[in-house]
Amino acid sequence: MSIAVSRPLFRHPHRQGGAHRPTYLNSSMARPFYLNYTQSPRPIFNDACSLSSRHFKPAKALSLRASSIDTAVVETSESSDVVFSETFQLKRSEKVDGKITIRLESGNNDDNWQLTVGCCLPGKWILHWGVNYLGDVGSEWDQPPPDMRPPGSITIKDYAIETPLEKSLASSEGESIYEVKIDFNTNSAIAAINFVLKDEETGSWYQHRGRDFKVLLIDCLQDEGNIVGAKKGLGIWPGPLGQISNILLKSEAANSKEDIGERSSQKRGLQGFYEEQAVVKETLVDNSVSVSVRHCLETAKNLLNIETDLPGDVIVHWGICKDEGKTWEIPSEPYPPETSMFKDKALRTRLQRKNGGHGSSGSFILDEGSVAFVFVLKLNENTWLNCHGNDFYIPLSNISVPAIQSGQTHSEDEGQNNESSSLLISGNASEENQEVSAYTDEIIDEIRNLVTDISSEKSRKTKNTKARESILQEIEKLAAEAYSIFRSSIPTFIETDLIKEVALEPPVKITSGTGSGFEILCQGFNWESHKSGKWYIDLREKASKLASLGFTVIWLPPPTDSVSPEGYMPTDLYNLNSRYGNIDELKILVKELHKVGIRILGDVVLNHRCAQYKNQNGIWNIFGGRLNWDDRAVVADDPHFQGRGNKSSGDNFHAAPNIDHSQEFVRKDIKEWLHWLREEIGYDGWRLDFVRGFWGGYVKDYLEATEPYFAVGEYWDSLSYTYGEMDHNQDAHRQRIIDWINATNGTAGAFDVTTKGILHSALGRCEYWRLSDGKGKPPGVVGWWPSRAVTFIENHDTGSTQGHWRFPGGKEIQGYAYILTHPGTPSVFYDHIFSEYQSEISTLLSIRTRNKINCRSTVKIVKAERDVYAAMIDEKVAMKIGPGHYEPSNGSRNWSLAAEGRDYKVWETS
């Protein structure tokens, strides 16, 4: 055990004699939030109060040495009276090393497996866990099936379970082990188990490299860097996994001890493993400091004694009060040995180590003129101990008695002064770490304003503008949320508005939501593209081909340095050397693409960012690189990351710290970064990752600041199903996407997930009737706000090697026949372009271009029956998909067949 960080935590003082004498200590303002600091998981208060001890570097022993003990100065006198004696309990937290063990093993038969999570540290351990099901998209947790939940489990919201760890008898080295066993069947549709550990005693959360522990149960590679346990091959790390571990080693070499042993027999790709993770637990340690005061009648001096059992060097940072205001003053000499002056404001005296080596003590001689002795204790550069957030206040001599007895009211009156003297201390501390304390002061100010309901003019005036702003923002966000819910219950409300708006828009006008309106998108990568290590170079050769096919915009993979090789777990945003190539190769590619007339979308991940450093709790929430944000940039409502920002304005992505876009400095930095990407690299626009995670209003802010040529957001959530059947009416789903677009003020389009989902059912199950909504319009986003819908049938997540939500096999061209003839801005997936489908896609693309079909084209649905869907677009193009029959009637117009294939036909007027 070693002391690393100590926090000022106190109990009420235990009296030893002199109890009849009330003191300031008891009557000083109660600060209950100090007491419960580590107890609750994340109240804002606690976070704020702990600031003074945040960002602490690991403890370093003071290099000072105890000098020889010299007690000569201390005069004892027979005639002295003990006028004060009290022992204050001190609570500090200490760090204890331990380990978390994770064992996956097969049970009594091959299909039954067991996951055991254990911890060797004492505590009230809770496993907070959830699962991913097969085919789940994203990394949101789900609740496990009931039969998987061990006894004693309780459900947390609708996505997690909490199961207490039991003390296990099977301890190997005599130490107690707490563990929990989760039994599951490999035949169940569970893809992964995710968990974090919580210690109820301290309220701390324990994670794996700053993210959830993840145990994969299937062979699906989704390496976000937080997977524990090997998946394939005995003792040999396959390529990608090896790379991960290298990356991780870089960032966290010392802290993780991987021990891959006990591999049991392989079954369905699942294999057992045993792993240990080092953890550090903070425990509270009780110490005390005793203060006694003797009054010496002969010398008319007070002799004050401080004794403590605190280990190591203890420095008393002290002063005296000469009147009842609690202003610190420097007493006259003599001072005890090893005393130094601190900035004319206080004295610092190092206590003498006791002979036994345990604890230390010191004596102070004080003139009778002083009212009180005030002090705080300093253990090391960063660790201070005070009394309930106030200075220790020791009343001296008889003069002070009346004042003390009026303690209650007096102390309240003196609240301001009292606090300003504690501020003095933090001011001093800021010498060591200026930045931190400056912020600390601010927070302390804020808390004080809140807690003490101040009525003084001064505090009212300085009413913290930040607090007010954040409340207004909070109200705004809440109102926006309430609005979107209320409104979605009446979807027709917006529909009419939008139709009007679309009709009013001039046909060709470049806006970031639509580009020119005639854009055709190419998703220029898949889930494997990072593997070559030279994707930018590979893609360069395809530039002219893409242009000749008719693409006007290409979406490139996320360019930043990332924990996962695909780029979606960004770390240093300004480091553009990624698995796809380095920054120079990227610049050359962009130049080439521009040369052939293709504009470039950068895939920017704004929702979350992987931290590079841990905070003092061992939580990964301190960022590195040029944007070296700290936990203020992290949203506060994901307990895993202990963010100190505001609550998230959207959904949480649980695998990494979610960025708090409500912070001005975050937005300023992001805007700067986007500007830099535009200027340095030449990006024309953005594909915005996981925009469900934050409010669309912030996206609007970013887009207005960076004026992209085109922007599209990934707002991906689940469609509605009843009894496993997809509902015909997906209005609520598309409304949510529309609401997001609306929140961006139409400055961005959004991927039309609704259309993809409906195409799945329509094409996959021969239910083509689904392709018309109740009002004879396309049932996806494209039916309500076509100009902002980016239609697609597959992307790197849904298809490719991930296959989270794959388009029905063999029906892809029908899907393209739909989206490439319909309004909206279609996006074609790289895998489909460079496949046997190329010629068919090429034909469809040329039909679109030739007939000037654009994002605002009009569509008239002619047929939406069980086995056939037919529509006419801009009265220039007719199409049908499905095995059923349809021919456009040759009335006034002369239709000629332009494309034909399996279950689809497209005609144009000639």
Partner 1 sequence: MIWHAKSSSGVTLKAFNVRAEAALISEKASKITTTRPIDGVKLYVGLPLDTVSDSGTINNARAIAVGLKALKLLGVDGVELPVWWGIVEKQAMGKYDWTCYLALAEMVRKMGLKLHISLCFHASNEPKIRLPEWVSHIGESRPDIYFADRSGQPYKDCLSLAVDDLPVLDGKTPIEAYTGFCESFKSSFSAFMGSTITGISIGLGPDGELRYPSQRQTTKDSNQLGAGEFQCYDKNMLSNLKQHAEALGNPLWGLGGPHDTPGYDQSPVSNGFFVDGGSWENPYGDFFLSWYSSQLVSHGDRILSRAAETFKDVSVSLSGKVPLTYSWYRTRSHPSELTAGVYNTVNRDGYEAIAETFSRNSCNIILPGMDLSDDHQPNESRSSPELLLAQITASCRKHGVEVSGQNSLVSGGPKAIEQIKKNLSDENAVELFTYQRMGAYFFSPDHFPSFTQFVRNLKQLNLHSDDLPLKDDETADSLPDMNLHKQVA
Interface with partner 1 (CB under 8 A)? 43-45, 449-451, 453-455, 457, 460-461, 463-465, 467-469, 471-472, 474-475, 478-483, 485-487, 489-490, 493
What separation in angstroms does the CA of 432 have from each of 313, 348, 421, 736? 18, 15, 18, 49
Distances (CA, A) of 673 to 601, 630, 659, 688: 15, 17, 15, 14
- Closest contact distance (angstroms) between CB of 447 and partner 1 is 9
- Which H/E stretch holds residue 275? strand 273-296
CA-based angle 570:682:532, to the nearest 5? Answer: 50
Is 538 a catalytic site residue? no
534 φ/ψ angles, rounded to the nearest 5 degrees: -140, 45
Which residues on adjacent β-strands are paired with residue 86? 15, 291
80 or 488, CB closer to partner 1? 488
- Least distance to partner 1 from the beta carbon of 490, Å? 6
Nearer to partner 1, 343 or 461 (CB): 461
For partner 1, the closer of residues 30 and 499 by Cβ is 30
| CA–CA gap between residue 277 and residue 723 (Å, rounded) | 42
* Residue 347: strand, helix, or coil: strand
Nearer to partner 1 by Cβ, of 465 and 889: the residue is 465
In this structure, the number of other CB atoms found within 10 A of the CB of residue 797 comes to 18
Alpha-helix residue ranges (DSSP H) falling in 707-837: 731-743, 753-764, 781-784, 812-819, 830-833
**At a CB cut-off of 8 Å and minimum separation 6, what does 465 contact?**
none
351, 357 contact by CB (below 8 A) = no
Read off the DSSP letter of residue 334: P
d(CA 373, CA 370): 8
Q: How many CB atoms lie within 10 A of CB 258?
A: 14
Give the shortest CB-488-to-partner 1 separation in angstroms: 9
Compute the distance between CA of residue 563 and CA of residue 567 in angstroms, rounded to an integer.
Answer: 7
Q: How far is the CB of 500 from partner 1 (least distance, A)?
A: 15
CB of 746 to partner 1, least distance (A): 13
Q: Where are the beta strands (DSSP E) in 451-507?
A: none
d(CA 207, CA 197): 7
What are phi and psi for residue 10, nearest 5 degrees? -135, 155
CA atoms within 13 A on the CB side of 868: 14
Out of 689, 773, 812, 831, the active site residue is 689
Nearer to partner 1, 700 or 804 (CB): 700
**Choice between 462 and 890, CB closer to partner 1:** 462
Q: How far apart are CA 390 and CA 376, in angstroms?
A: 9
Q: Which is nearer to partner 1, 487 or 587 (CB)?
A: 487
Minimum distance, C-beta of residue 671 to partner 1, in the bound complex (Å): 17
* Calpha distance 751→805 (Å, rounded): 15
* Cα(434)–Cα(817) distance, integer angstroms: 63
Q: Which of 811, 794, 812 is nearest to 803 (CA)?
A: 794
For residues 153 and 129, what is the distance between their CA atoms, to the nearest angstrom?
Answer: 10
Q: Give SS3 for 724.
A: coil
CB of 115 to partner 1, least distance (A): 34
Distance of closest approach, residue 651 Cβ to partner 1, in angstroms: 13
* Residue corresponding to tokens 């917006």: 494
Smallest distance from partner 1 to CB 493, Å: 6
Q: Which is nearer to partner 1, 94 or 474 (CB)?
A: 474
Amino acid at 160: A
Nearer to partner 1 (CB atom), residue 329 or residue 481? 481
Closest CB to partner 1 among residues 323, 664? 664
Q: Which residues of 87-101 are buried (b: 16+ CB within 10 A; e: fewer)?
A: bbebbbbbbbebbbb
| Best CA proximity match to 135, nearest among 614, 536, 718 | 718
3-class secondary structure, 88: strand
Fill in the amino acid letter for 558: P
* 779: helix, strand or coil: coil
Q: What 3-state DSSP class applies to 81?
A: strand
Quickly list DSSP for 361-394: EEEEEEETT-SEEEEEEEEETTEEE-BTTB-EEE
For partner 1, give the closer residue by CB, 494 or 593. Answer: 494
Q: Report the nearest approach of partner 1 to the CB of residue 158 (Å).
A: 12
Q: What residue type is assigned to position 112 of the chain? A: N
Give the count of beta carbons closer than 10 Å to the beta carbon of residue 836.
8
CB of 58 to partner 1, least distance (A): 31
**φ, ψ for residue 613 (rounded to 5)?**
-135, 160
Q: Which of 199, 603, 714, 794 is catalytic?
A: 714
Q: Which residue has the tokens 């005793």?
A: 290
CA atoms within 13 A on the CB side of 662: 26
Q: How far is the CB of 694 from partner 1 (least distance, A)?
A: 16
Is 714 labeled as catalytic in the residue annotation?
yes
Q: Could you give the 3-state DSSP secondary structure of residue 561?
A: coil
**Nearer to partner 1 by C-beta: 468 or 595?**
468
- Cβ proximity to partner 1: between 397 and 646 the closer is 646
State which amino acid sits at residue 532.
Answer: S
Q: Shortest gap between Cβ of 455 and partner 1 (angstroms)? A: 7
Which residues participate in catalysis according to the annotation? 689, 714
